[in-house]
A and B are shown apart, each in its own frame.
Chain A
Amino acid sequence: MKLDAHIPSGPLEQKWTNYVEHVKLLSPANKRKHTVIIVGTGLAGASAAATMAELGYNVKSFCYQDSARRAHSIAAQGGINATKNYQNDGDSVWRLFYDTIKGGDFRGREANTYRLAELSSNIIDQCVAQGVPFAREYSGYLRNRSFGGALVSRTFYARGATGQQLLLGAYSALSRQVAAGKIELHPRTDMQDLVVVDGKARGIIVRNMLTGELEAYAADAVILATGGYVNVYYLSTNAMGSNATAAWRAYRRGAGFANPCYMQIHPTCIPHTGDYQSKLTLMSESLRNDGRIWVPRKKHDTRDPNSIPESERYYYLEEKYPAYGNMVPRDVASRNAKYMCDEGYGVGPTGRGVYLDLRDAIKRLGKDVIVERYGNLFDMYERITGENAYETPMRIYPAPHYSMGGLWVDYELMSTIPGLFVLGEANFSDHGANRLGASALMQGLADGYFIIPNTIGQYLAGIKSGDVTTDADEFKEAEDAVQKRLDKIMAVKGTKTVDTFHRELGKIMWDKVGMSRNEAGLKDAIKQIQELRAEFWDNVRVPGDQHNINQELEKAGRVADFLELGELIARDALARDESAGGHFREEHQTEGGEALRDDEHFQHVAVWEFTGEDSEPVRHIEPLEFERVTPTQRSYK
């Protein structure tokens, strides 16, 4: 597997400008001849589809939801970062770049991350032009707030529904191109395989979720914007349908999978309460702006939190990290919460929770201000827990939220399969080993609005359009393989439901490949996942038939892929014998319990190559070279 990141030459600040100035262009007449498939209609997929259609390409857009407006980007609450420096607090492209690369524990690619920071301001301009109703000051100017891992206020937001508003902006731009006849929309389709012809990505096989029919689509390039894979943990903040199948099928067709072990466990979620639970709900990190995190100083203290006097409250983040306090990056906040609960300081019925308290902010600013800032979050909390958080502090605990790893891409966002591009959370590129808050929306939209429309031309200029159709043998072969797999799932007729397998996989992953990992546990996990996978193919029960809406069959295909991906995550975590960002190996920590990197041996991207059903995957590396920053031990003290 050849890993050339194709990073343009020149100084960091000039790379993207130079690239755009010299990239190959296609004439409008030639753009019209090219067809591009885009899978996924989240921020990255919808923005890419709209922008490429505006440029004149023919776009075929696919999503599993009933409408392109529903992808899980919609659930992002807190905000989107941009280097406008409207607050005059010293922000700059360099600072956002540096915060992001440091936040990622120096495991991201310098050039990609810089470009992300550089494009961030354009995103805000574009979204405002589309009518996104961002929060404003009385003067009519845009407002900002702070987010974890930063000392400046650079986050733009629309109440607690920033992701929704940005996604609806992209969806409206996409809808406009549907009306213009430039986008052919295929909702309720589930991508089942990637079709590679002569070494190039040339199409996909999808299952029509209404009829069960398999359908083949050919194009000159394929873009995956299919999101992340934290549903491998069963319980996560992702949507029920979020899945890794598109990315995983591409991996099996030869695309390298990078850094699968970098998982983000988000610190501020509503704690788990019972076995029936189907998902975990996030409370926006923005609450940490005004909330203070604490546990009782006494272990196993079951007193009502309001009766615990100030002197007996342990504001552990503020004490341990005086510079950043409650605003430390997510991985640090999560690990500390886990540590407190492991030590017996946890609160709530299960002992797996810490307090997030807005009492002092309510006193300082008045309840009205807090209602205005976070009202919808308080309502959501009350609906789920039955508790009024204006009167008693919220209880929170970390939950799987985002996968920094994903399909490997170069600077042009192309995977190791020529013609296969990967955007947004589905790729691995910009966040290193830990993503900062309000950066996922930024990356999805940077990839879709501004990067791919430029970089794809470089590839398409060298492709003869339309010379591959679905008549090619490779399409038939892929479709047969998909059909065989579906038949195989239906034929098991076992005794255990798909959800039971998913829950069991989730437990292995959470216990052994979760917030902290060690060699013995990871080896165990690999063995257990292999056994569970074997049992799945022997004993899963999928009712109904294939030629109809069959939600159990949809889930079964996804869980079968998670059962393979879970093993790869554990393998990657085992091979990365260091701690970095969200990947914490108990064997490697500082005296203060922080993640301890090993730059000498692991300053690289790990990229896994599929070598066949019965052989082990091969680990390749892309060394990370830092021209402008010097990796240091991260400090938020």
Chain B
Amino acid sequence: MKLTLHIWRQKSPDDKGGFKTYHVDNLNRDMSFLEMLDVLNQQLIEKGEEPVAFENDCREGICGMCGMMINGLAHGGMKGSTTCQLPLRYFKDGAELTIEPWRSKAFPVLKDLIVDRSAFDRIIQAGGYISVNTGNAPDANSTLISRDTAELAMDYAECIGCGACVAACPNGAAMLFMSAKIAHFSLLPQGQVEADRRVKSMVQQMQQEAFGACTNYAECEVACPKEISISAIARMNHDYLKAFWPGKVVGGGKHVA
């Protein structure tokens, strides 16, 4: 099969960038989308041109490294799939595709399709953990967790941090990413202990980054390659309100009136 590609080319963060058109043929429909880009890149190198820079690593949908907008849809729009998992048979022979990097103020473009997602790491550093030092743990079966709770926590924990949710959101919000982590931990008894502190601190960090606000478009849920539900956002909002509720015990045992 063959494809016509309009790809965003941008040399550096300061470069203005623009689309360039490429034609690739002799493609196999069992190829993955990234393998198709490999083919294009080999051809570009052989012609003496610079290949298209794009990030990828595991190529099995779990590392969260790859991601691009394909015809305006994050990861190409196939349900529950990252760009690396997208087979060419998903597209029609002869199709015309526009390929862009994630578009969000919080994710500046570094080169071609590569963006800087370090804001995600900073949100996790602000509180996306349970504060347990190595060696502290009691026997693993000493805390019982119902199967349904563990499964639900796992649904949220499956986030791969790819950034599709931000890219798909008209506001460029990071709510699904952040709430998935918060919901995962707050469902578990181990995570409850510092739930208030966690949600406040992570939200605060998110506000310092260039992400937008959530206005319930729910585009993030559709784009998420792990199909994480926006119920995570509801859980986070619940936790956030609870964290500020009057009568809470705060540091030193002092009650807030």
A contacts, CB < 8 Å to B: 47, 50-51, 54, 65-70, 72, 74-75, 84, 86, 122, 124-131, 133-142, 158-159, 161, 163-165, 168, 171-173, 175-176, 178-179, 185, 187, 210, 239-241, 273-274, 276-279, 281-282, 379-380, 383-386, 449-450, 453, 495, 497, 499-500, 541, 543-544, 548-549, 551-552
A384-B32, A386-B30, A543-B45 known; 17 new pairs, CB 8 Å cut-off, are A54-B134, A67-B117, A70-B57, A74-B58, A75-B58, A128-B190, A129-B132, A129-B136, A130-B130, A133-B153, A137-B147, A138-B146, A161-B62, A176-B131, A179-B125, A279-B59, A383-B85
25 residue pairs of the A-B complex, CB under 8 angstroms, read A65-B63, A67-B117, A70-B161, A75-B58, A75-B62, A84-B140, A130-B132, A131-B153, A131-B185, A134-B150, A138-B146, A142-B140, A142-B141, A161-B62, A165-B157, A172-B124, A172-B128, A173-B129, A239-B58, A241-B57, A497-B45, A543-B44, A543-B49, A549-B111, A552-B45
Across the interface, B111 reaches (CB within 8 A) one of A158, A240, A274, A548, namely A548
Q: Which residues of B contact A274 (CB under 8 A)?
A: 28, 30-31
Query: In whole angstroms, what is the CA distance A117 to B193 when docked?
Result: 32
CB of B208 within 8 A of chain A?
no
Across the interface, A276 reaches (CB within 8 A) one of B31, B126, B144, namely B31
Q: Given A141-B144, A276-B31, A281-B60, do A159 and B136 touch, yes or no (CB 8 Å)?
A: no
Query: In whole angstroms, what is the CA distance A279 to B58 when docked?
Result: 9
CB of B133 within 8 A of chain A?
yes
Q: How far is the CB of B158 from chain A (nearest CB, A)?
A: 6
Q: Given A210-B110, A276-B28, do A133 and B53 touch, yes or no (CB 8 Å)?
A: no
Q: How far is the CB of A542 from chain B (nearest CB, A)?
A: 8
Fill in one digit per residue for B109-141: 1 if any A CB lies within 8 Å of its CB, else 0: 011001011101100111011111111111111
Counting contact residues on chain B (CB < 8 A from A), the size range is: 35 or more
Q: Which residues of A contact B154 (CB under 8 A)?
A: 133, 158-159, 165
Q: How far is the CB of A540 from chain B (nearest CB, A)?
A: 10
Determine, out of B33-41, B97-105, B237-245, the stretch whose residues face the partner at the interface.
B33-41
CB of B42 within 8 A of chain A?
yes
Across the interface, B63 reaches (CB within 8 A) one of A74, A122, A277, A449, namely A74
**Are the CB atoms of A130 and B144 closer together than 8 Å?**
no
CB of B55 within 8 A of chain A?
yes
CB of B56 within 8 A of chain A?
yes
**Are the CB atoms of A175 and B58 closer together than 8 Å?**
no
Query: In whole angstroms, what is the CA distance A358 to B44 when docked?
Result: 44
**Are the CB atoms of B137 and A552 closer together than 8 Å?**
no
CB of B188 within 8 A of chain A?
yes
Q: Which residues of A contact B247 (CB under 8 A)?
A: none
Closest A-B pairs by Cβ, 3 of them: A140-B144, A172-B129, A129-B137
Q: Which residues of A contact B188 (CB under 8 A)?
A: 131, 133
Q: Given A136-B147, A175-B125, A543-B48, do A66 and B55 touch, yes or no (CB 8 Å)?
A: yes
- Nearest residue, chain B, Cβ from A52: B134
- Nearest residue, chain A, Cβ from B128: A172
Q: Given A136-B150, A273-B30, do A129 and B59 touch, yes or no (CB 8 Å)?
A: no
Q: Which residues of A contact B31 (CB under 8 A)?
A: 274, 276
Q: Which residues of B contact A282 (CB under 8 A)?
A: 60
**Are the CB atoms of A129 and B111 closer together than 8 Å?**
no
B contacts, CB < 8 Å to A: 11-12, 28, 30-32, 34-35, 38-39, 42, 44-46, 48-51, 53, 55-65, 80-81, 85, 87, 89, 110-111, 114, 116-118, 120-121, 124-126, 128-141, 143-147, 150-151, 153-154, 157-158, 160-161, 184-185, 188, 190-191
**Are the CB atoms of A497 and B61 closer together than 8 Å?**
no
Query: In whole angstroms, what is the CA distance A138 to B151 when docked?
Result: 11
Query: In whole angstroms, what is the CA distance A127 to B161 when docked?
Result: 20
Q: Which residues of B contact A175 (CB under 8 A)?
A: 121, 124-125, 128-129
**Are the CB atoms of B39 and A552 closer together than 8 Å?**
no
Query: In whole angstroms, what is the CA distance A490 to B185 when docked?
Result: 48
**Are the CB atoms of B62 and A74 closer together than 8 Å?**
yes
**Are the CB atoms of A54 and B185 closer together than 8 Å?**
no
**Are the CB atoms of B111 and A67 closer together than 8 Å?**
no
- Nearest residue, chain A, Cβ from B111: A549
Q: How far is the CB of A88 from chain B (nearest CB, A)?
A: 13
**Are the CB atoms of B58 and A72 closer together than 8 Å?**
yes
Q: How far is the CB of A356 from chain B (nearest CB, A)?
A: 18
**Are the CB atoms of B51 and A380 closer together than 8 Å?**
no
Q: Given A164-B62, A552-B51, do A130 and B129 touch, yes or no (CB 8 Å)?
A: yes
**Are the CB atoms of B59 and A126 closer together than 8 Å?**
no
**Are the CB atoms of B130 and A172 closer together than 8 Å?**
yes
Q: How far is the CB of A592 from chain B (nearest CB, A)?
A: 35
**Are the CB atoms of A67 and B140 closer together than 8 Å?**
no
Q: Which residues of A contact B56 (CB under 8 A)?
A: 240
**Are the CB atoms of A50 and B157 closer together than 8 Å?**
no
Q: Which residues of B contact A379 (CB under 8 A)?
A: 80
Query: In whole angstroms, what is the CA distance A140 to B190 when docked?
Result: 14
Across the interface, A129 reaches (CB within 8 A) one of B51, B120, B138, namely B138
- Nearest residue, chain B, Cβ from A71: B63
Q: Which residues of A contact B118 (CB under 8 A)?
A: 66-67, 187
**Are the CB atoms of A543 and B136 closer together than 8 Å?**
no
Query: In whole angstroms, what is the CA distance A221 to B123 when docked?
Result: 30
